Structure formats: C-alpha cells, structure tokens
Amino acid sequence: MGPSPAEIVRTLAAGRLPGLVHLAHRPGPFHVRHATDPDGRVLMLVPVVSDLAAELAPHPGDDVAVVLDVLDLPPAAGAPSLGRAWVSGWAAPVTGAEARAAAADFAAVDPTGDLFDVGTRFRLHRFEVVEARLESAGVHRIDPAEYAAAAPDPLHPVEAALLADLADHHGPEVAGYLRRRLDLTGGEPRVVRLDRHGLVVAYGGPGDRRRARLAFPRPVADVAELSRLLHPMLVSRGFEKSEAPARRNPRAAAP
C-alpha cells in the first residue's frame, strides 16, 4: 500500500517544494514561498513591494481566489514523480496575533529569517483549501476534509539524502535484500523512492522501467523508526554470521 492521493497532495503542498500561485482574473502565475499549517491551510510569505502583493490586495471586504500549483521534483535520476498538486481557496492577509501564530507555523516548515519582518517588509496571506486535486496518471479530485485529515510524509524532506546514503554506502546489501524479498533475477535492483509506507524499487537492465513496491509492516513516523525497519536490509547475512557470538562447548571448558 502506498500513500493516498490526499497524503501526496499534503506532502507536495507542505512547503518543501517550489510553488506557483495563480489568481483568478489576474496575470501570472507568480512564484511564491509557501507552507502549510497543521490544519493544511496554505500560508504565503509575500514581499509587500511586489507584483504578487499588489494582486493580492483585495477591495475592502473581499478575499482573492487563488490556486497553489506544486510540481514534484523526483529525488534522483530515474525516480518516478509523485505528480502535481493543485489546491485552491480564498486568500486573505493575516494580521495581529494571528500573524504571529501563522509565522510560527511557517517557521516549522521553513525557518527563514524573513519571518522576523512580517508586518514590515513581508506579509502573510492564508487560505483554507476548498478544492484539491492531484495530477498523476490522471486527475484525482480530493475531498477537502480528506485533504485536511491527511498529513505530509515525514520522510519527504530528507528523501534524497536517504536514497543517496542507501546507494553510496549500502548498495550491495540493499540489492541482495531486494532480490530475496522480491524474488528478482538479473539486473541490479535499486531503491528510487521511499515514503512512510514503503520503498519503490526499480529493477531490470538499462532502460528497463519496471518497478515494484515493497511495503513496510506499518507506516513509519520518522527517520529513527525507518532506520530500525531498514536494519535487516543494511546488515548482510555474512556480517550477521561473523558477528554472532560463538557458543562455548561445556566439555572444552571443563578442567
């Protein structure tokens, strides 16, 4: 089992990837720094002197219809894309005590120093997601309640580093483990994506696009839990045998 479309959209929209924002009946799109708060609401950090700030300035009493557009960036060459997330809602500036709370939520994702200038050089705008969809082998429309209830994948921010570590420091052990678990013959299996639910494995010869998914027994909560789950993969059978303590022969020990 892999991540649901709602989980993927929450992961892509979380704020770790570049985003574009489209405004209804306005020119664009505009590049935007964004993050999501624990409830999935989108926060946009906008310079007060910018074209985007001018377009986001509503008439008194009006909010602005916006769409955040985030395309997945695969973590390595040959890795499949998670797709493209589109989330939309009605954006409004956040002020006062709400702005300070929103800045803390933004900092939990992206602790940029520009947050200290919210209210002077920068302004935060926020919108609740009223429509969400994922483009990946078709279009998946997601109920806003499912989107809000989902959580971003905790491994996504460090996925590229984890994959590089598996390939650079544990390549033979990983390949042997994958052959045994997936009953593969030929080729060099390699992990090309990972998430809280499992691994995506590419196998076969050059140019072969076959992939398989190896599910974890349970979704992992963080990198520490992932490390414990992957330990059998990273320790070769030969190493385990050589490190196992030898049993003493009681007769040999007897005087």
Q: Where in the chain are the domains?
A: 5-151, 157-243
pLDDT score recorded for residue 244: 35
The pLDDT of residue 248 is 37
pLDDT value for 240: 34
SS3 12: helix
Q: In the prediction, which pLDDT does 207 show?
A: 64
Q: Which helix (H) or strand (E) holds 228?
A: helix 223-234
- pLDDT of 188 reads 80
- Note the pLDDT of residue 189: 87
Q: Residue 61 has what pLDDT?
A: 64
Please, what CATH class does the domain formed by 5-151 belong to? mainly beta
pLDDT of residue 1: 76
Which pLDDT does position 101 carry in this prediction? 96
Compute CA distances 125 → 62, 85, 150, whole Å. 13, 19, 22
For 128, 168, 169, the CA distances from 161, given in Å and listed in that order, are: 32, 10, 12
pLDDT of residue 179: 83
What's the token pair of residue 204? 């076969």
pLDDT, position 206: 61
Rounded CA-CA distance 58/61 in Å is 8
- List of the chain residues with pLDDT < 50: 237-255
Distances (CA, A) of 54 to 49, 51, 58: 8, 5, 9
Q: d(Cα 61, Cα 89) in Å, to the nearest integer?
A: 16
Question: What are the strands of the beta sheet with 211-215, ordered from one edge?
Answer: 190-195, 198-202, 211-215
Instruction: Report the Cα 175 to chain-centroid distance in Å.
Output: 24
Element (H, E) at 46: strand 42-47
Both ends of the chain: CA-CA distance in Å? 59
Which of 184, 188, 177 is closest to 230 using CA atoms? Answer: 177
The CATH number of 157-243, from 3.40.50.2300, 3.20.180.10, 3.50.50.60, 1.10.1040.10, is 3.20.180.10
- Among residues 33, 15, 61, 30, the alpha carbon closest in space to that of 121 is found at 33
Place of tokens 């991540």: 3
Cα angle 87, 104, 64; round to 5 = 35
* Location of structure tokens 């989108």: 42
Q: Find out whether the peptide bond into 29 is cis, omega within 30 degrees of 0.
A: yes
